[in-house]
Amino acid sequence: ADTLTKPKKLMESSIYRPIENAKSYIIKHQNRDGGWPLLPGEKSDAEVTALAIWALTDAGWGTGSRIIRSGVRYLKNQQREDGSWSNNTAHTAFALIALANAKADADTQFNGLQWLRNAQNPIGSWGRKSKGPGHILYTSATLVGFKKLGFTERHFKPILPSLEWLAEQNNFENVWNLPGGTQSDIYVTSWVLHGMSPDRKYDQNIYNLDEQVAWIKQFQNRDGGFPRFKGRPSDPEVTATAIMAFAAYNDPLNTRRVAISYLTKAQEADGGYKSSIPIELKSPTANLQTTCFVLIAIYTKTGSEQ
């Protein structure tokens, strides 16, 4: 049966209703083929489907439920013969997190892992496609995937060179932006920090990134949210990404608590969240990707909270 678990201690009662509304929004917009679209009513998309399964399972939705099982079936049908999802490293990483959360069969996951490992460039980076030009966001997302699946730099060779590559991509402020961008980017830096986060089991931190965590915090807006660039309005997906980065560094709860309270206020009446982060969107629009990341962020725990 579909099961919902009450939020953990971290969540005050004020967050309970927004969580329920976000779950309802995600479930309501599942397509008949089992997948989820970026925008309600559009055709299903493998990346958004992976994020929906990840979000719902993190929020305690039963892996045996019809909703999760049909989502997993859609994802498995979208896997290419080479093991990837759409020859895209981030989509493949998110699909692997979703399948692991949903306790799906090992073969599908193994083939995806093999493809992702082989997609890495000799220099340590990942591009959008297999062996594509190294890209900060795709490298970070791939690392998040490996770490979520339990791979650590101590035991999994691909991780260390990718950490080194990411460290070398920093800009004049010692944070990150995308090539061609001139302004330091809070969203990109949050993804990098999440990707470079320490191995919790050994509490080993190859890079001390406290300065970068503090850099993000200074841009928290008065409403509690985070903008993509200094001085801009808060964005729910940027805020979700920042929350995930703070949790990865065992950051005390205060900043996350304030950011989560922003997310409770930024929710649309139907439970969705608006953002202009998804590259397909030209202006802030309520969408499934952002809503899923908000739910994932709310349920992200630090090592000490687990």
Is the Cβ–Cβ distance between 134 and 127 less than 8 Å? Answer: yes
Q: What's residue 290's pLDDT? A: 99
Domains of the chain as residue ranges with CATH = 17-301 (1.50.10.20)
Distance CA 49, CA 93 (A): 12
Q: State the DSSP string of 53-79.
A: HHHHHHTT--TTSHHHHHHHHHHHHHB
Question: pLDDT tens digits, residue range 80-124?
Answer: 999 999 999 999 999 999 999 999 989 999 999 999 999 999 999
Mean pLDDT over 246-275 rounds to: 93
Residue 287 main-chain phi, psi, to 5 deg: -150, 165
Is the Cβ–Cβ distance between 259 and 239 less than 8 Å? Answer: yes
Question: pLDDT tens digits, residue range 30-60?
Answer: 999 999 999 999 999 999 999 999 999 999 9
Distance CA 38, CA 242 (A): 21
Query: What's the token pair of residue 97?
Result: 């997190």
Question: How sure is the predictor about 252, in pLDDT bands with cuts at 50, 70 and 90?
Answer: confident
Q: What's residue 128's pLDDT? A: 98
- Give CA 57 to chain center in angstroms: 14
Q: What's residue 13's pLDDT? A: 65
Residues 6 or more apart whose CB falls under 8 angstroms from that of 98 comprise 49, 50, 51, 52, 53, 54, 57, 71, 72, 75
Question: pLDDT tens digits, residue range 265-293?
Answer: 999 999 999 999 999 999 999 999 999 99
